[in-house]
Structure 1
């Protein structure tokens, strides 16, 4: 409360054109000092840090206060923009980093800081402290031992993400989530079709949300496991009802792969719908698949278990991660999906020889490893033709069809079959 009063007094004394700043500091690793050397040593460390902060600042222009625990606040009077405070903050953080001798031990701690700076007339004490506290979290999330500057746009995005995270569980219950499906077409007409399930969110206030807006939030909060289970159950149920009998591809996040119940969930969904295992494909991004394979988990990799049971495993967005191509043959994958960025390069007036070379190499490697190849982002007939010549098995993109509802899939597949010819029953993977 004393600090809040000090900030309010600073605001009252500021002139109409004055700007001011506030930095919220937190010591990194202070708990370790308390746990190893004791609380008395921790108290001496805090006193030393407070003395260093005072020595590094100008008492005529700055106010240093301890918030409690290992948190400190520095108020800056009459600033001339946030950049004017950067050298001061860097000096403060450097002072904190200097070793401290405690009970014969040389102890080094660092500090993270959140900085907010604005016109005095546009600020309130509570709002300044809140903004600086938020920015301190950004600094710690970025790696600690540094400072971050408050940004209104970033804060708005963070607030939006937080609201989505809170609304996600109820969205599944209230029917706000729904699926659309995009066909994946055999370029040569020699294989049966399949479709990819794509989740959508019709938010009651924000309208239709793109997956890029809420899937990362679901992954961060862990809600992706429940959301993924819902998508899986709905997708296999829809696929089982389609008379044309296409396979369905469902995206799987790395947190789902780490979830010990994934295999059980997949088997339960297949059993409940009656869909054969061979008509389900699980898509996982290249980097996530590598992470899943490299983790030391008890028991076999769940993706390998499902591949052994006839379920397709597709490496999604290939070319955007960090795969070692030599490892590709050892992954439990039955299909490889080339990222749309390579396909887009084929659409230039002058063909991109590098993109063609990459696609050709991936096709050769995938086929040698027993995998089919799908090109994502196919938007023109010319791209489809070039991909066919390069040996790509499947194409997916707006050239064939935009994502459509489950009810529209039979008609779309019938139209595509009339254009490309019916797929032979040669299997998908």
Structure 2
């Protein structure tokens, strides 16, 4: 049903400025303009025809009057001449109009003047007095034509008569006499033999005087036309306002409906004519649009609520509700169609420190980017889900082998999430831990699959994070695990299960070996050789990092003491270990017991966690006071930023592996690395680029032109045992001696 309040809303007048149709076409394209134009044209045509007919009739009547007046004046002229010259005779036509005068002698010669006592001037004066207009006596010569007897001027005809000698016969029309145009009546004078000897001409007035009335009539006609046009404009405007005023408003009403703006009731519905019917039809359309809009909004709202109920508002990934529905659907297909699948639970490592340090805005950006990277790894049939916090899940559709396909996806996830993140200007690296359960191998219910994947995830975290594990029978999650692992680490240190590998660090300028970085390994009696990420984080969590770190520092110093005096050893120390109360004593005693010079030991501080200024700065200052170098590891990512170089007494930086990895692919990384190198060298710091694996990366670093920069990575060799280091250094010594 349509909203009753909307249906009964008062009509809101629409502003002319809001009328979109008025700006879409010119006024003469509108109905109003067309009606006005048609009325104007009709009036102009009617008045033009009428005025043209009137002008024509006036011209006709005027010419008739002029001809009659000219004939009358000619009669008066012939009458005066006959009274004066008794010897003349006249010839008339059937209407009694005198058309010629016969005279034995010219009327203006001396003999006629003596006989009559009138000269031509007297006769013409008498004619002018009778006709109230000028008159002329003309003499005719075959060579000269007609000339005035008084001044000898030639008389010319100015009308359209094709006969240039029109004055030889009875003539009425315009003639030029003395430079002026007159409408005249001319009677030819002939002798007794019929030979033309002259003419007597009388006028009825000059052309301008005769045309004055005609011109006044035309002027009055023009004024009347202007008046009628003005009246027409007023009438058309009145018609437009009263007859066509609803049209633009109704056009606007339809336009608003087309734009889905249905707030205003259609006006003019109360008119009892076609406009009212049109308005009612538009109102029906508006009501239908209101109903349609209401239903559409309800449908959109339902879809939005459905989406919100099944998707995470931050990452736009499906949420726990969608996870339950999806895994239930897959379990049904597993039972009915045999479609197997894998469940991967993913937990971001070190997310809480990032969130606590940089704030929730950066944390949210990290989660969004992580979700995007996970989504990019999915294949057809896979679904990425955010379970909450920094926990994600992937339901993987298995095509052939569940184990191999899960391993491949897990490796891709580890690699994707280990790549550096750039959030709000901060660059840092994280990792993730993954637990995997396969259906139906590890369960055929939602609860079993999730619980088993969670146990596998816990195992991955126990093994140092940044790894994945499949669920296996016997996995448990209880506090005794930490106690057991703690005992295993202590036993490992006591039983010499831990050992060191060393990776070479080379100077770009001359290719010489500057020293080696100590990398700890664990030969676990049950699990085989373990990398640091399998046990360092766990050691920090269970409080054994200080004991393990003490072993590492002492062992590295003992090995390096047997190297040449110009070789340095780098030892990694975590921020957790820095906070242990015996770190200074550990370093001091390691140097004393091994006999290693303090300048040949450099302590690497990883940037995985934020350094507290109040707690860490005194410790670093004390270490530096011993003469030991301080290296800021993973510089350019994570917490290892430029402000650390200002706050803490670092003497050496290591540019992060993640920046070096893309040197040969990303121009921005090249610019950033170049800037970091120049900045560090200007501050008097040593610079090492770690993770160099290709010739292109090495060549770019060499192109910076700083021979004091050092590099390390697989391009120069993998980490090796101390015995191999000794042999390598002996070989280098022999080569130098030979050179």
- Report the TM-score, using the length of structure 1 for normalisation: 0.59
Pair 1:310–1:83, CA change in 2 (3 A)? farther
| Corresponding position of 1:308 | 625
| Corresponding position of 2:611 | 291
Q: Is the 8 A contact 2:568 2:600 kept in 1?
A: yes
1:400 to 674, 698, 716: 716
Q: Aligned partners of 2:667, 2:495: CA distance in 1, in Å?
A: 50
State the 1:325 CA deviation: 1.9
Q: How does 1:326-337 map to 2 (within 5 A)?
A: 326-337=643-654
State the 1:204 CA deviation: 1.1
Q: How does 1:176-195 map to 2 (within 5 A)?
A: 176-189=497-510, 193-195=514-516
| Corresponding position of 1:51 | none
Q: Is the 8 A contact 1:239 1:245 kept in 2?
A: no
| Corresponding position of 1:375 | 689
Q: Aligned partners of 2:326, 2:591: CA distance in 1, in Å?
A: 60
Asked which structure has the greater RCO (Cα within 8 Å, sep 6+), the reply is 1
Q: Which moved more, 1:235-244 or 1:266-275?
A: 235-244
Q: Over residues 141-199 of structure 1, what are the superposed CA-to-partner deviations in whole Å (9 max), with x where a residue is unaligned? A: xxxxxxxx963431443565645444111111111100011111111128761111100
Q: Is the 8 A contact 2:633 2:640 kept in 1?
A: no
Q: Determine whether 1:153 maps to 2:456.
A: yes
Give unmatched runs, 5+ long, in structure 1: 1-78, 85-111, 113-117, 136-148, 423-429
Pair 1:397–1:80, CA change in 2 (3 A)? closer
The structure with the larger Rg is 2
Q: Is the 8 A contact 1:182 1:198 kept in 2?
A: yes
Give unmatched runs, 5+ long, in structure 2: 1-323, 330-388, 390-438, 465-480
2:549 to 228, 234, 247: 228
Q: Is the 8 A contact 2:462 2:538 kept in 1?
A: no
| Corresponding position of 1:385 | 699
State the 1:326 CA deviation: 4.0
Pair 1:150–1:203, CA change in 2 (3 A)? closer
Q: Over residues 403-423 of structure 1, what are the superposed CA-to-partner deviations in whole Å (9 max), with x where a residue is unaligned? A: 11111113323556789x79x
Q: How does 1:161-180 map to 2 (within 5 A)?
A: 162=481, 164-180=485-501
How well do the aligned residues superpose, as a CA RMSD in angstroms?
3.5
Q: Aligned partners of 1:378, 1:306: CA distance in 2, in Å?
A: 29
- Report the TM-score, using the length of structure 2 for normalisation: 0.35
Q: Aligned partners of 2:627, 2:574: CA distance in 1, in Å?
A: 20
State the 1:228 CA deviation: 0.4
| Corresponding position of 2:537 | 216
State the 1:295 CA deviation: 3.5
1:340 to 636, 648, 657: 657
Aligned residues: 286
What is the SS of the residue equivalent to 1:232? helix
| Corresponding position of 1:255 | 576
